[in-house]
Amino acid sequence: MKTFHTLAELRAELALASARPAFVPTMGNLHEGHLTLIRQARNLVGDSGSPVVASIFVNRLQFGPNEDFDRYPRTLQRDADLLQGAGCDILFAPHEAELYPEPQGYKVLPPDELANILEGAFRPGFFTGVCTVVHKLFNIVQPRLALFGKKDYQQLMVLRRMVDQMALPIEVVGGETTRSPEGLALSSRNGYLSEAERTEALTLIRLLREVQAQLRSTSGWTPGKVAALEDAAMAELRQRGWAPDYVLVRRRKDLHPATADELAGGPDATPLVTLVAARLGTTRLIDNLEV
Ligand code: PAF
Protein backbone atom coordinates (compact mmCIF):
# COMPACT_ATOMS: atom_id res chain seq x y z
CA MET A 1 0.00 0.00 0.00
CA LYS A 2 1.22 3.51 -0.83
CA THR A 3 0.45 6.48 1.41
CA PHE A 4 0.17 10.05 0.15
CA HIS A 5 -0.31 13.26 2.09
CA THR A 6 -0.63 15.70 -0.81
CA LEU A 7 -3.13 16.09 -3.64
CA ALA A 8 -0.35 16.36 -6.21
CA GLU A 9 1.27 13.05 -5.22
CA LEU A 10 -2.08 11.26 -5.04
CA ARG A 11 -3.18 12.57 -8.42
CA ALA A 12 0.12 11.56 -10.02
CA GLU A 13 -0.31 8.02 -8.67
CA LEU A 14 -3.97 7.75 -9.71
CA ALA A 15 -3.08 8.91 -13.22
CA LEU A 16 -1.08 5.69 -13.62
CA ALA A 17 -4.07 3.42 -12.88
CA SER A 18 -5.93 1.89 -15.80
CA ALA A 19 -9.36 2.43 -14.20
CA ARG A 20 -10.97 4.83 -11.74
CA PRO A 21 -10.74 3.74 -8.09
CA ALA A 22 -13.11 2.34 -5.51
CA PHE A 23 -13.02 4.71 -2.58
CA VAL A 24 -13.65 4.39 1.17
CA PRO A 25 -13.54 7.80 2.92
CA THR A 26 -12.93 7.62 6.68
CA MET A 27 -11.89 9.73 9.63
CA GLY A 28 -9.46 7.04 10.80
CA ASN A 29 -9.30 5.20 14.12
CA LEU A 30 -10.36 2.28 12.00
CA HIS A 31 -12.32 -0.76 13.15
CA GLU A 32 -13.62 -3.92 11.55
CA GLY A 33 -16.54 -1.99 9.97
CA HIS A 34 -14.12 0.12 7.89
CA LEU A 35 -12.01 -2.92 7.02
CA THR A 36 -15.12 -4.77 5.85
CA LEU A 37 -15.80 -1.86 3.46
CA ILE A 38 -12.23 -2.11 2.15
CA ARG A 39 -12.64 -5.86 1.55
CA GLN A 40 -16.01 -5.22 -0.11
CA ALA A 41 -14.34 -2.62 -2.35
CA ARG A 42 -11.60 -5.13 -3.20
CA ASN A 43 -14.21 -7.74 -4.20
CA LEU A 44 -16.20 -5.24 -6.24
CA VAL A 45 -13.22 -4.06 -8.31
CA GLY A 46 -11.96 -7.61 -8.94
CA ASP A 47 -9.28 -7.54 -11.63
CA SER A 48 -10.64 -4.42 -13.34
CA GLY A 49 -7.50 -2.40 -12.64
CA SER A 50 -9.31 -0.06 -10.24
CA PRO A 51 -7.19 0.63 -7.18
CA VAL A 52 -8.84 0.57 -3.75
CA VAL A 53 -8.28 3.96 -2.12
CA ALA A 54 -9.03 4.93 1.49
CA SER A 55 -8.80 8.40 2.93
CA ILE A 56 -8.20 9.36 6.53
CA PHE A 57 -9.12 12.92 7.38
CA VAL A 58 -10.71 14.23 10.58
CA ASN A 59 -12.93 16.86 9.02
CA ARG A 60 -13.26 19.91 11.24
CA LEU A 61 -16.19 21.20 9.15
CA GLN A 62 -18.54 18.46 10.37
CA PHE A 63 -17.87 18.95 14.09
CA GLY A 64 -19.91 21.40 16.17
CA PRO A 65 -18.17 23.79 18.58
CA ASN A 66 -18.87 21.52 21.58
CA GLU A 67 -18.12 18.23 19.84
CA ASP A 68 -15.09 15.97 20.02
CA PHE A 69 -12.92 17.30 17.15
CA ASP A 70 -9.87 17.81 19.38
CA ARG A 71 -10.14 14.51 21.21
CA TYR A 72 -11.13 12.44 18.14
CA PRO A 73 -8.49 9.65 18.10
CA ARG A 74 -5.73 10.05 15.50
CA THR A 75 -4.07 6.64 15.02
CA LEU A 76 -2.50 6.91 11.58
CA GLN A 77 0.24 4.26 11.79
CA ARG A 78 -2.09 1.64 13.25
CA ASP A 79 -4.75 2.53 10.66
CA ALA A 80 -2.25 2.24 7.80
CA ASP A 81 -1.23 -1.25 8.96
CA LEU A 82 -4.87 -2.34 9.17
CA LEU A 83 -5.67 -0.94 5.72
CA GLN A 84 -2.73 -2.72 4.19
CA GLY A 85 -3.82 -5.99 5.77
CA ALA A 86 -7.36 -5.55 4.40
CA GLY A 87 -6.15 -5.10 0.82
CA CYS A 88 -6.15 -1.33 0.39
CA ASP A 89 -3.83 -0.09 -2.41
CA ILE A 90 -3.60 3.61 -1.65
CA LEU A 91 -4.10 5.65 1.51
CA PHE A 92 -4.69 9.37 1.18
CA ALA A 93 -4.08 11.08 4.53
CA PRO A 94 -3.89 14.82 3.89
CA HIS A 95 -2.95 17.36 6.54
CA GLU A 96 -5.64 19.90 7.23
CA ALA A 97 -3.74 22.66 5.40
CA GLU A 98 -3.61 20.46 2.30
CA LEU A 99 -7.37 19.93 2.09
CA TYR A 100 -8.34 23.34 3.46
CA PRO A 101 -5.44 25.65 2.49
CA GLU A 102 -7.80 28.55 3.09
CA PRO A 103 -11.13 28.65 4.95
CA GLN A 104 -13.59 26.57 2.91
CA GLY A 105 -15.96 29.31 1.69
CA TYR A 106 -17.68 27.18 -0.95
CA LYS A 107 -19.83 24.52 0.69
CA VAL A 108 -22.29 21.85 -0.37
CA LEU A 109 -25.62 22.61 1.32
CA PRO A 110 -27.88 19.55 1.45
CA PRO A 111 -31.63 20.29 1.45
CA ASP A 112 -33.27 20.88 4.83
CA GLU A 113 -35.76 18.04 4.45
CA LEU A 114 -32.87 15.55 4.35
CA ALA A 115 -30.27 17.24 6.45
CA ASN A 116 -32.09 19.13 9.21
CA ILE A 117 -33.92 16.10 10.60
CA LEU A 118 -32.59 13.40 12.99
CA GLU A 119 -28.80 13.90 13.23
CA GLY A 120 -29.02 17.27 11.51
CA ALA A 121 -31.52 18.54 14.09
CA PHE A 122 -29.07 17.78 16.90
CA ARG A 123 -25.84 18.56 15.02
CA PRO A 124 -26.49 21.76 13.04
CA GLY A 125 -24.24 22.01 9.99
CA PHE A 126 -23.08 18.40 10.30
CA PHE A 127 -24.28 17.28 6.88
CA THR A 128 -23.01 20.45 5.20
CA GLY A 129 -19.59 19.56 6.59
CA VAL A 130 -19.90 15.93 5.48
CA CYS A 131 -21.16 16.77 1.97
CA THR A 132 -18.51 19.45 1.48
CA VAL A 133 -15.59 17.21 2.41
CA VAL A 134 -16.93 14.17 0.57
CA HIS A 135 -17.61 16.22 -2.58
CA LYS A 136 -14.08 17.60 -2.36
CA LEU A 137 -12.59 14.14 -1.80
CA PHE A 138 -14.62 12.82 -4.75
CA ASN A 139 -13.12 15.59 -6.93
CA ILE A 140 -9.64 14.62 -5.81
CA VAL A 141 -9.95 10.84 -6.00
CA GLN A 142 -12.44 10.68 -8.94
CA PRO A 143 -13.74 7.27 -7.87
CA ARG A 144 -16.16 5.13 -9.84
CA LEU A 145 -17.39 3.46 -6.64
CA ALA A 146 -17.68 4.91 -3.13
CA LEU A 147 -18.52 2.84 -0.06
CA PHE A 148 -20.13 4.05 3.18
CA GLY A 149 -21.47 2.10 6.15
CA LYS A 150 -25.19 1.82 6.91
CA LYS A 151 -24.41 2.53 10.57
CA ASP A 152 -24.51 6.20 9.50
CA TYR A 153 -27.84 5.60 7.78
CA GLN A 154 -28.79 9.23 7.24
CA GLN A 155 -25.28 10.12 6.04
CA LEU A 156 -25.51 7.37 3.42
CA MET A 157 -28.89 8.71 2.24
CA VAL A 158 -27.73 12.34 2.14
CA LEU A 159 -24.59 11.39 0.17
CA ARG A 160 -26.53 9.22 -2.29
CA ARG A 161 -28.83 12.16 -3.01
CA MET A 162 -25.85 14.48 -3.41
CA VAL A 163 -24.34 12.14 -5.98
CA ASP A 164 -27.68 11.90 -7.83
CA GLN A 165 -28.49 15.61 -7.80
CA MET A 166 -24.96 16.68 -8.73
CA ALA A 167 -24.84 13.98 -11.46
CA LEU A 168 -21.53 12.68 -10.13
CA PRO A 169 -20.47 9.59 -12.10
CA ILE A 170 -20.08 7.51 -8.95
CA GLU A 171 -21.90 4.43 -7.72
CA VAL A 172 -22.55 4.71 -3.97
CA VAL A 173 -22.49 1.36 -2.16
CA GLY A 174 -23.86 0.91 1.38
CA GLY A 175 -22.14 -1.64 3.61
CA GLU A 176 -24.02 -3.48 6.36
CA THR A 177 -23.30 -2.41 9.94
CA THR A 178 -20.57 -4.48 11.55
CA ARG A 179 -21.37 -5.46 15.15
CA SER A 180 -19.49 -7.00 18.04
CA PRO A 181 -20.57 -10.60 18.81
CA GLU A 182 -22.92 -9.12 21.47
CA GLY A 183 -24.48 -6.72 18.95
CA LEU A 184 -22.78 -3.38 19.61
CA ALA A 185 -22.46 -1.43 16.36
CA LEU A 186 -18.75 -0.80 15.78
CA SER A 187 -17.84 2.88 15.95
CA SER A 188 -14.65 4.84 16.46
CA ARG A 189 -16.42 6.51 19.39
CA ASN A 190 -16.84 3.17 21.24
CA GLY A 191 -13.26 3.72 22.37
CA TYR A 192 -14.52 6.45 24.70
CA LEU A 193 -16.69 3.94 26.62
CA SER A 194 -15.67 2.42 29.95
CA GLU A 195 -16.05 -1.34 30.40
CA ALA A 196 -19.37 -0.86 32.20
CA GLU A 197 -20.63 1.58 29.55
CA ARG A 198 -19.72 -0.85 26.79
CA THR A 199 -22.02 -3.43 28.38
CA GLU A 200 -24.76 -0.85 28.92
CA ALA A 201 -24.39 0.29 25.28
CA LEU A 202 -25.92 -3.05 24.22
CA THR A 203 -29.26 -1.58 25.32
CA LEU A 204 -29.42 0.23 21.96
CA ILE A 205 -29.49 -2.89 19.81
CA ARG A 206 -31.83 -4.64 22.28
CA LEU A 207 -34.33 -1.78 22.01
CA LEU A 208 -33.99 -1.62 18.22
CA ARG A 209 -34.67 -5.35 17.99
CA GLU A 210 -37.69 -5.06 20.29
CA VAL A 211 -39.16 -2.25 18.19
CA GLN A 212 -38.49 -4.26 15.04
CA ALA A 213 -40.14 -7.38 16.50
CA GLN A 214 -43.22 -5.46 17.62
CA LEU A 215 -43.67 -3.72 14.29
CA ARG A 216 -43.32 -7.00 12.42
CA SER A 217 -45.40 -9.22 14.68
CA THR A 218 -48.57 -7.15 14.97
CA SER A 219 -50.67 -5.18 12.50
CA GLY A 220 -52.93 -2.16 12.87
CA TRP A 221 -50.13 0.34 13.40
CA THR A 222 -51.07 4.02 13.47
CA PRO A 223 -48.87 7.12 13.87
CA GLY A 224 -50.05 7.34 17.49
CA LYS A 225 -49.13 3.73 18.28
CA VAL A 226 -45.71 4.15 16.67
CA ALA A 227 -45.14 7.34 18.69
CA ALA A 228 -46.01 5.39 21.87
CA LEU A 229 -43.46 2.72 20.92
CA GLU A 230 -40.80 5.39 20.34
CA ASP A 231 -41.68 7.13 23.62
CA ALA A 232 -41.42 3.86 25.56
CA ALA A 233 -37.92 3.25 24.18
CA MET A 234 -36.90 6.84 25.04
CA ALA A 235 -38.29 6.39 28.57
CA GLU A 236 -36.36 3.17 29.08
CA LEU A 237 -33.13 4.83 27.96
CA ARG A 238 -33.70 7.74 30.36
CA GLN A 239 -34.55 5.37 33.19
CA ARG A 240 -31.25 3.54 32.60
CA GLY A 241 -29.29 6.80 32.81
CA TRP A 242 -28.95 7.66 29.12
CA ALA A 243 -29.69 11.08 27.62
CA PRO A 244 -31.49 10.10 24.40
CA ASP A 245 -31.80 12.56 21.49
CA TYR A 246 -34.26 10.43 19.54
CA VAL A 247 -35.69 6.99 18.92
CA LEU A 248 -37.70 7.26 15.72
CA VAL A 249 -39.34 4.88 13.27
CA ARG A 250 -39.05 6.36 9.78
CA ARG A 251 -39.60 5.45 6.14
CA ARG A 252 -36.38 4.08 4.71
CA LYS A 253 -36.78 6.00 1.46
CA ASP A 254 -36.57 9.53 2.92
CA LEU A 255 -36.36 9.15 6.74
CA HIS A 256 -39.68 10.95 7.20
CA PRO A 257 -42.55 9.51 9.28
CA ALA A 258 -44.76 6.96 7.55
CA THR A 259 -48.33 8.14 6.94
CA ALA A 260 -51.34 6.43 8.54
CA ASP A 261 -52.07 4.67 5.21
CA GLU A 262 -48.49 3.48 4.88
CA LEU A 263 -48.44 2.13 8.44
CA ALA A 264 -51.74 0.36 7.85
CA GLY A 265 -50.16 -1.38 4.83
CA GLY A 266 -47.41 -2.84 7.03
CA PRO A 267 -43.60 -2.71 6.87
CA ASP A 268 -43.43 -4.93 3.78
CA ALA A 269 -45.35 -2.37 1.72
CA THR A 270 -43.50 0.61 3.22
CA PRO A 271 -40.01 -0.33 4.36
CA LEU A 272 -39.14 1.28 7.67
CA VAL A 273 -36.04 1.81 9.76
CA THR A 274 -35.70 2.64 13.46
CA LEU A 275 -32.98 5.14 14.29
CA VAL A 276 -31.58 5.98 17.68
CA ALA A 277 -29.13 8.56 19.02
CA ALA A 278 -28.36 8.80 22.72
CA ARG A 279 -25.62 9.93 25.04
CA LEU A 280 -24.14 7.53 27.58
CA GLY A 281 -21.92 9.48 29.95
CA THR A 282 -19.97 11.77 27.65
CA THR A 283 -20.25 9.53 24.59
CA ARG A 284 -22.93 10.03 21.96
CA LEU A 285 -23.83 6.81 20.13
CA ILE A 286 -26.05 6.24 17.11
CA ASP A 287 -27.47 3.03 15.71
CA ASN A 288 -30.32 1.86 13.50
CA LEU A 289 -32.10 -1.27 12.37
CA GLU A 290 -34.22 -1.82 9.29
CA VAL A 291 -37.66 -3.16 10.20
O1 PAF B 1 -18.41 8.66 8.23
C2 PAF B 1 -17.34 9.28 8.33
O3 PAF B 1 -16.32 8.78 8.81
C4 PAF B 1 -17.26 10.73 7.85
O5 PAF B 1 -18.46 11.39 8.07
C6 PAF B 1 -16.83 10.86 6.38
C7 PAF B 1 -17.84 10.23 5.44
C8 PAF B 1 -15.47 10.19 6.17
C9 PAF B 1 -16.69 12.34 6.00
O10 PAF B 1 -15.76 12.99 6.82
pLDDT in tens, 1-29: 999 999 999 999 999 999 999 999 999 99
Amino acid at 167: A
Q: What is the mean pLDDT of the chain?
A: 97
Helix (H, G, I), strand (E, B) or coil at 287: strand
- Between CA 110 and CA 133 the distance in angstroms is 13
56 lines ligand 1 (CB under 6 A): no
Catalytic residue among 5, 34, 135, 256: 34
Distance between Cα 291 and ligand 1 center (Å)? 25
pLDDT band at 267; cut points 50, 70, 90? confident
Residues whose CB is less than 8 angstroms from the CB of residue 4 and which lie 6 or more positions away in sequence, other chains included: 10, 13, 90, 91, 92, 93
- Between CA 70 and CA 73 the distance in angstroms is 8
User: For domain 188-290, which architecture applies?
Assistant: 2-Layer Sandwich (3.30)
Distance spanning both ends of the chain, measured CA to CA: 39
- Between CA 207 and CA 91 the distance in angstroms is 37
Residue 75 Cα distances to 29, 42, 60, angstroms: 5, 23, 17
| pLDDT > 90? residue 203 | yes
Distance between Cα 200 and ligand 1 center (Å)? 26
- Between CA 261 and CA 40 the distance in angstroms is 38
Question: Rounded to the nearest 10 degrees, how much is the dihedral formed by the CA atoms of 279, 284, 290, 291?
Answer: 0
For residues 243-252, average pLDDT: 98
Which residue's CA is minimally distant from atom 5 of ligand 1?
Answer: 130
pLDDT band at 138; cut points 50, 70, 90? very high
Assigned superfamily of 2-175 = HUPs (3.40.50.620)
152 lines ligand 1 (CB under 6 A): yes
Which residue's CA is minimally distant from atom 8 of ligand 1?
Answer: 26
For residues 176-198, average pLDDT: 96
CB of 251 within 8 A of CB of 289? no
Q: Among 150, 152, 160, 189, which is best to mutate for testing ligand 1, by the most ligand atoms less than 8 A from CB?
A: 152
Per-domain residue ranges for the chain? Answer: 2-175, 188-290
What's the predicted TM-score (pTM) here? Answer: 0.96
Bridge partners (DSSP) listed for residue 251: 272
134 lines ligand 1 (CB under 6 A): yes
| Number of residues that this document lists for the chain | 291
| Catalytic annotation present for 34 | yes
